[in-house]
Structure 1
């Protein structure tokens, strides 16, 4: 059977390691320059080297984004950066600009090149163009359907990889080519500084003959009419395989380690279940429940089945849905006292009923039976960011397991 790649985002070194531990085959990251997510923490040279070493020790890969649209003065810095990436041992670079592509081929000719979704590849002729220039992989424009991707796959070389986003935030503008952020804030979305102005509330008006402004649609107040729902394709794993997509890409280099863990874990389970018995694969609602326990917007299927309609947007709110708090990550064990050592991420309390997730494991439920500070003194709660606590949980857990608890909403009416 065709093996596919599960490709995860990593905004920093911790998230890179979590992605691999929870089942990703590869990650895409940004360095300190030339990436489309300048607000992400991103990777220093030292962290990138550690991340690449960690990946290669596990037989996995790291791809680096160089997908901004650069200016002349930035091109001058590119060669040295490329040589640095080659020395670190990254497995591929992701580019969208023909000039950057040319310099990569000239400077580090043996480096694998992936064509970014920002290049808006929507047809087999464009994909073949990039392949003939030396690209190994083309990332599909997000505006393609399964049918269009299958047609593209049937008319391109078999050894060309096809990558497509299957989960995460969607952009309301074509392949991310948006100028709203630049207009409203001076922050250029095409240079990694998007302010997500599409998530703001707007009123649509037109100017009348007398110079007055009136709503385009009567009785409609301000709304979030640019606000796209998130993409989620976990219910359609067989369709993704059959379309010829070889890399399942998750969006989210700005997202938390908890988001990376929950999302990778859910898709890993769904993909592995398909490998076990593709003819009888059935969607497990638990996978979607897991995705909903991370921070997300309402889900839809993007362009995969047809062009999105009004249901692809949420007009009422741009807020994320959060039903669970990521409260801690297991860092080790206090063997002498049979306690679990946890790094706190959100407040936890003695007696909390919590859930624990780990890679390739079913979700476990338990209660915090005992709680101690780092010095072994009993405590009632852990309110301080990243404080080290020791817990008695009554279940077997291992390093990098994640603790979460439901968010309790109090009705004050």
Structure 2
């Protein structure tokens, strides 16, 4: 069933089926996962059998499974992509997340709902409306949008036809999604084909137009991690209905913790909306309880930002390090030959063998200290023996501030069972002419009944007999159900053996699960508007990522006259924008002309001149488009990449879609 206008969907990532199952158990309304291929995380693929196993578990709770089918495709891959779409559809997947328009244009595709990936670069009203009108039922907005921009897009769409999805947590790509080609230009590994080399996390020297160094070895393209915990109500008001957690490469602990964190926040928001008279609802069934208190700071993060949701912010970059700096915990009081003595900020805190500590050296590089053994000296004072030799820990001295970026007690907690998700049921024990019946009605209105013959005998003690019946009927053990109310619809309290009650409950529970699965409705694919709506532009550059003839035909059908091939086709041999981003290095370093406007003594002296990024032999130019407030990272494709592509093209004829001969 498609997402309804009043439903709020928590969408969690899964590297594999086991993680996806735990995402559902920890409160996800939907899970997105890679299939056997063509996903934008090349190392996070899964078999059709695993997709089927995950879908079967998710559908028990009415949760949906999205399969990422969101790379751009070569002509020789189209048939394989079509077959994979059918395979995951037959396995029970509910949605395909796609980037390549070939998948909406091809004939003989399964009737599966299609969502437009964030890789389609959705940041304008016109683009969003077009994607709605060609048949996408949900669109993943660019992470860079403000609340006002989201609100404008929502107002332009039909909420019954197309829902808005937005990333609320996790790592941030500095580029507009789908608009980064640095990885392919330098290594041949295409971000649009799921194999990004993450050049944005590297350190760079920043040099101005006069050759002066602005920064030395700073990770100026590395963003802090996204965290919209404080903005959920505002995002709901702006029109977002699906809330996405990044992390298909992340481990089980991350998915458990972050899913649980947002499940609690959304449950609070939904409860508050019920009190206000304009209720929202969760998009799947059941309630989830946890054995731990969720805390986003416990997982790997580069510190947090809410990015551009509330406008441009000064502090969005993780420029000192792309690693996890952890949380402050104390400082060094003594450095020995094989051990350190520490004093903790909070005397109640405990260190564990295997904990990870870290600190910034004098060059502000993050240095890790893995604890081999930890000994308590007194409350708040510890001696730790690092795994690595102390002599190799640069700039470590008395007074060094320490953070903890791995807490083994937390890790062990999340390695165990850490949640319980249950669907509420009303339980009614009644009589039949020859025995008893047990009727279960769940919170979604599904009903199942089990009966058993039984020679009725009055209970010797009516009060105790009734209490015993209620107690036994309320035991749902390892099932997915929990009693909301137990009612005895009996002419009098009867003696019923526990074995008979257990059998009735077991049969009724199995029947109710079967009824829920039978009644589950997968969302259907939307029909495009007829006649075909025009695309907002009549010319497409390499930035449109058109890599096959089906995508080209799609855009031609929608009125586009000039269509250049994708960057991966190797037709753009000169300098081009290898990355387009809302992040601005000049702004972050207080060199933006807009920042200087009105400041006495600097009027007209600060200009948006290009800067250069240097990492070893790699050089990139930063150009600034101040009207839309965007930065372009400019460069050219390496000869080694072109040579490798030429060799591959000889081995696989027609591998690349082209619009014109390669020079």
**Shared fold per TM-score greater than 0.5:** yes
Give the distance between the partners of 2:408 and 2:36, measured in 1 at CA.
Answer: 40
Give the distance between the partners of 2:222 and 2:22, measured in 1 at CA.
Answer: 29
Tell me how far 1:249 sits from its aligned partner: 0.4
Give the distance between the partners of 1:177 and 1:256, measured in 2 at CA.
Answer: 27
Aligned to 2:19: 15
Aligned to 1:155: 156
Greater percentage in strand? 2
Distance 1:348 1:4, change over 3 A: farther
Normalised by the size of structure 1, how large is the TM-score?
0.73
Tell me how far 1:44 sits from its aligned partner: 0.9
**Do residues 95 (structure 1) and 98 (structure 2) align?**
yes
CA contact (8 A) 1:93 1:111 kept: yes
CA contact (8 A) 2:225 2:304 kept: yes
Distance 1:348 1:253, change over 3 A: farther
Give the distance between the partners of 1:288 and 1:152, measured in 2 at CA.
Answer: 36
Aligned to 2:321: 317
Distance 1:92 1:222, change over 3 A: same
Q: CA RMSD in A?
A: 3.1
Distance 1:192 1:347, change over 3 A: farther
**Do residues 222 (structure 1) and 217 (structure 2) align?**
yes
Give the distance between the partners of 1:293 and 1:152, measured in 2 at CA.
Answer: 35
Aligned to 2:619: none
Describe the SS at the equivalent of 1:89.
coil
Please show how residues 14-33 of structure 1 align to structure 2 within 5 Å: 14-33=18-37
Deviations 1:124-145 (A, max 9, x none): 3222222221211111111211
CA contact (8 A) 1:203 1:215 kept: no
Please show how residues 73-222 of structure 1 align to structure 2 within 5 Å: 73-103=76-106, 106-159=107-160, 160-205=162-207, 214-217=211-214, 220-222=215-217
Give the distance between the partners of 1:111 and 1:223, measured in 2 at CA.
Answer: 45
Tell me how far 1:101 sits from its aligned partner: 1.7
Please show how residues 339-378 of structure 1 align to structure 2 within 5 Å: 354-355=409-410, 356=413, 358-359=418-419
CA contact (8 A) 2:353 2:373 kept: no
Describe the SS at the equivalent of 2:132.
helix
Give the distance between the partners of 2:194 and 2:88, measured in 1 at CA.
Answer: 19
CA contact (8 A) 2:89 2:110 kept: no
CA contact (8 A) 2:353 2:408 kept: no
CA contact (8 A) 2:228 2:306 kept: yes
Give the distance between the partners of 2:96 and 2:203, measured in 1 at CA.
Answer: 36
Deviations 1:21-55 (A, max 9, x none): 10000011111211000022x21111111111111
Describe the SS at the equivalent of 1:203.
strand
Deviating more after overlay: 313-322 vs 161-170:
313-322
Distance 1:224 1:157, change over 3 A: same
Distance 1:250 1:288, change over 3 A: farther
Normalised by the size of structure 2, how large is the TM-score?
0.46
Tell me how far 1:88 sits from its aligned partner: 1.0
Distance 1:110 1:255, change over 3 A: same
Larger Rg: 2
CA contact (8 A) 1:82 1:107 kept: no
